[in-house]
Amino acid sequence: MGEFLLHGFRDATGREHAALTVGAIDDGQPVLTRLHSECLTGDTLYSLKCDCGPQLQAAQQAIATEGRGVLLYLRQEGRGIGLVDKIRAYALQDAGADTVEANRRLGLPDDARDYRVAAEMLKILGVCSVRLLTNNPAKMQALSDLGVAVTERLPLRAGENPHNSNYLLTKALRMGHWLGAAEEA
């Protein structure tokens, strides 16, 4: 796709995160930005149950094409519940629960992600305002609450397939994501 600079971060809990950057991003101008939440199954094992792998690739490509931007790879597997509980949630989904219901049955929050680390990473990289690649309103809100100006929202739709259609529909209907899936259903 192009040449990226890879930065490593370790947060206060010892968890390690990565940032991929292209070009000069600390000049005060809004930066094309993607906050990607880790998904071992989608990013690495090509699972079709979600859209994470294709979204990762599309975001990386968009940043390379723009010649300036940042992708934060955040270790928030399973929306922050971790790999083992995500696999448990998948088992409940195989038995008919949707993604939100499965988390609740496990006694876990719908979304356990915390974006403080992301805001800190952006600050360290000299980024104070972003053009954010996302369909998730909560992500935009979280960043602006943490003092990062979100000047624009750019949709990121990739990797839709018959196996993840219910997952995407649940995101649209129960988590308020801008996916157009609700209208298409």
Which residues contribute to the annotated binding site for Zn(2+)?
Answer: 39, 50, 52
Tokens of 163: 């196996």
Cα 31 to Cα 128: distance, rounded to the nearest angstrom:
8
79 makes contact with ligand GTP (CB under 6 A): yes
Residue-wise burial string across 156-177, b where 16 or more C-beta atoms lie within 10 A, e elsewhere: beebeeeebeebbbbbbeebeb
Q: Which residue has the tokens 């988590």?
A: 175
Hey, which residues between 113 and 172 contact ligand GTP (CB under 6 A)? Answer: 134-136, 139, 156, 171
Q: Name the residue nearer to ligand GTP (CB basis): 63 or 81.
A: 81
Q: Name the residue nearer to ligand GTP (CB basis): 24 or 185.
A: 185
Known catalytic membership, residue 68: no
Among 19, 25, 31, 52, binds ligand GTP (CB under 6 A): 52
3-state secondary structure of 61: helix
Q: How many residues bind ligand GTP (CB under 6 A)?
A: 22
What is the DSSP code string of 1-58? ----EEEEEE-TTS-EEEEEEES---SSS-EEEEEEE--IIIIIS--SSSSHHHHHHH
Cβ neighbours, 10 Å, residue 179 = 20
Q: Name the residue nearer to ligand GTP (CB basis): 26 or 93.
A: 93
Among 73, 77, 122, 148, binds ligand GTP (CB under 6 A): 77
55 makes contact with ligand GTP (CB under 6 A): yes
Least separation in angstroms between residue 148's CB and ligand GTP is: 15
Q: Name the residue nearer to ligand GTP (CB basis): 112 or 128.
A: 112
> Which of 125, 105, 101 lies closest to 25, judged by CA?
125
User: Footprint of Zn ion on this chain (CB under 5 A)?
Assistant: 39, 42, 50, 52
Known catalytic membership, residue 111: yes
Q: Which residues are catalytic?
A: 111, 113
Contact residues toward ligand GTP (CB under 6 A) are 37-39, 50, 52, 55, 76-79, 81, 86, 89, 99, 103, 134-136, 139, 156, 171, 177
